[in-house]
Structure 1
Amino acid sequence: MLKKLLTLISLLWACQYGYAQNTDAFWKRFQNLYNEDKFTEIYNLLSPSFQAEMSLEQHINLFKNGIKKSAGKMKGAVLLKAEEDASTYLLTFAQMKLEVLLMLNKEEKVQGWLWQPYREQKKHALDVQYVNPLKNKTDSTIDREARKYLEQNPKAQLSFAIVHPDKTVHYYYAADQLPDAQSVYELGSISKTYIGWLVAQAVTEGKLDIKADIRTYLRGTYKNLEWDSQPILVQHLLNHSSGLPRLPENLLKLATDQENPYKAYGNEQLLKSLQASKLSAKPGTQAVYSNYGYGVLGYILEQVYQQPLEQLLNQKLQTVLKLDSISFKSGPALIRGHNESQDPVPAWEFQVLAGAGAIKATLKATAAFLQQQIAAENTAIRLSQAIIDPRLEPQTAYAWQVNPLKNQADTLIWHNGMTGGFSSFYGFFKQKKTGLVMLSNVADPVDAAAGEILKAIRQQ
């Protein structure tokens, strides 16, 4: 239960490139406030953009009834790893240990943190199989990070691709059976980058207007989908500023299988949820990550084209980008997913919320799509990489997170993903024109490994 609660205060890898840290002093202050139950004061340590992720009431409930109740008083913090822009600490509490990745902004407010149960570094004696030319620094970094990940996740079958405009290098690692270019993975939220491109393609075809009220494309009446006469626009779904929650309020109530939460959620349930949803903020004013919003985008695309989303996406991938098809369904090539405990779990199935994370694809297919993003020869691809509203943080294009790098004339464009049994990372340097795909069949984030590999790419 605590692990589920911790995910509510997690900001994923969006803050990898930040400012120099003064984290020791931060944790001393945090410990005093936490032990004295001053949870409102802790909330005030968060940046405004991070506060938009969670209300004060939710924050207090999480710390008071979640972390404090389960972990007890905090005894201290020990630095595990320090980098220029983020630090990882081991927090010791009376009843457990937690690991926190912390990033402060230039005002020394919390721009992002990832809380998770501390996992003892149990190194499994593995006979690692791999495909890696080991010719340069990037190759060596992939080798090091893959082996580290496998030590913690011995069931993992890892696939990597380093992508350039004119070539792609594939890498594979496993302690048992190696994956290959035809092994299929669940992409999770990386699927949103495909949906973002599909929206951009619809715009170039004159089928969709991102400045249009989303109610234009919905069946029924939705007087609730506005705030002070400001309706939700299509662009607000794209950059997560719609005011809709992360998930539909009725999703978990209707889920018949907690390990496959999206399976039973169809069009009727989505439209009922939209008629009942209460916006958390005026659309366009706060960015709060929303799977709900991308489910609605997928539904809108189906209405605009009068085609099922999977069929529509494959048609456009094949005819516009000349790429292989992807799938929303499980097939024999889908490798088995595992949770963090290395237990096998079922694949996720989607209906109307497919736009949030339904895609299942091979390394070959995902690398080919990223190669198109890097080359940026397609009009819709260039449009999909454009920041929608520079005033909002994090800066978001058509699903892509866009991070200008400090002291460097380059920009990292990226997304990550996770399902019940898979994790993934997808990103590229816009000016260097080099990208990375990392896919795992274990639901343990690959972001830290991806960050190290990206550093090697930058330095090479």
Structure 2
Amino acid sequence: MGRKFRYSNEGTGILGELLARWLGTDYETAIIERLCLPLNLPDTGISLTLEQQARMVPGYAGKDVQRPETLLRDYAGAGALRSTLGDQLTFLAAHLCDHPNEELCHDLLISQQTYARHSKTVGVGLGWIIDERGKFAWHNGSTHGFSSFMGFYQDRSSGIVVLSNYRSGLLSDSVDRIGLDLLDLLKKP
């Protein structure tokens, strides 16, 4: 594989827009029609209902430093989606092939293949970083005051979701460390 990998939020946002245009719709509609409805993710989207907005916790970037949510209109694919833990666990179950929509579960396996290399032991799938030594896939994300991590073992045995209404500094400990430590605990007998 002669491809080089460099993660880009802007690139991810542009890709989301291009895919939506290719499907003849906008990004949110594409996500709802292609993922949220088939997987039964009622609390995942960009435009939240008043009831969903009332349940949203405030985000923080430091002790008592509340941050407004980030609204990504131009780069929606780079982090505009809002979700709940329940929906994220359902999405995780689909990646573990433990969901009633078997056809979509099978399609999700395509995203977990290595298409580029980050290093000798780390591959890159479609939206996933793949640790080939530990045989797990993961992805993280953060916006103002919020951060998240999802990871799972590719043998379909287990996975975790970590959601936080706190975003630490770029060089400090984060939900990534929590997520990776929990994954490590899951593999131990």
Which residue does 2:127 correspond to in 1?
A: 399
> What pairs up with 1:414-429 in 2 under 5 angstroms?
414-429=138-153
Which residue does 1:365 correspond to in 2?
A: 87
- Deviation of 1:296 after TM superposition, in Å, equals 1.1
Q: What is the TM-score of this pair, normalised by structure 1?
A: 0.36
Report runs of 4+ in structure 1 exceeding 4 Å deviation: none
Gaps of 5+ in 2: 169-173
Letter in 1 for 2:60: H
- Deviation of 1:340 after TM superposition, in Å, equals 2.5
Which residue does 2:5 correspond to in 1?
A: 287
Which residue does 1:327 correspond to in 2?
A: 45
Q: Deviations over 1:128-155 (max 9, x none)?
A: xxxxxxxxxxxxxxxxxxxxxxxxxxxx
Kept in 1: contact 2:135–2:155 (CA 8 A) = yes
> What pairs up with 1:152-163 in 2 under 5 angstroms?
none
Which residue does 2:162 correspond to in 1?
A: 438
Larger Cα-atom Rg = 1
Q: Deviations over 1:404-424 (max 9, x none)?
A: 22xxxx511101111110111
Kept in 1: contact 2:149–2:163 (CA 8 A) = yes
Q: Deviations over 1:412-442 (max 9, x none)?
A: 1101111110111100011251000011101
Aligned equivalents of 2:178, 2:124: Cα separation in 1: 23
Aligned equivalents of 1:372, 1:288: Cα separation in 2: 27
- Give the 3 Å change call, closer, same or farther, for CA 422–318 of structure 1 in structure 2: closer
Aligned equivalents of 1:327, 1:312: Cα separation in 2: 10
- Deviation of 1:452 after TM superposition, in Å, equals 2.2
Aligned equivalents of 1:354, 1:337: Cα separation in 2: 19
Q: What is the TM-score of this pair, normalised by structure 2?
A: 0.82
SS at match of 1:436: strand
Aligned equivalents of 2:59, 2:5: Cα separation in 1: 31
Which residue does 1:382 correspond to in 2?
A: 109
Kept in 2: contact 1:328–1:360 (CA 8 A) = yes
Gaps of 5+ in 1: 1-283
- Deviation of 1:329 after TM superposition, in Å, equals 3.5
SS at match of 1:395: strand
- Give the 3 Å change call, closer, same or farther, for CA 392–455 of structure 1 in structure 2: closer
> What pairs up with 1:293-372 in 2 under 5 angstroms?
293-329=11-47, 331-372=53-94
Aligned equivalents of 1:335, 1:433: Cα separation in 2: 31
- Give the 3 Å change call, closer, same or farther, for CA 289–453 of structure 1 in structure 2: same
Quick one: percent identity of the two aligned structures?
28
- Give the 3 Å change call, closer, same or farther, for CA 371–316 of structure 1 in structure 2: same
Aligned equivalents of 2:37, 2:74: Cα separation in 1: 24
Letter in 1 for 2:109: R
- Deviation of 1:307 after TM superposition, in Å, equals 1.1
Kept in 2: contact 1:375–1:433 (CA 8 A) = no
SS at match of 1:332: helix
Aligned equivalents of 2:147, 2:38: Cα separation in 1: 28
Count of paired positions: 172
Range with bigger deviation, 433-442 or 375-384:
375-384
The RMSD of aligned alpha carbons is 1.9
Which residue does 2:184 correspond to in 1?
A: 455
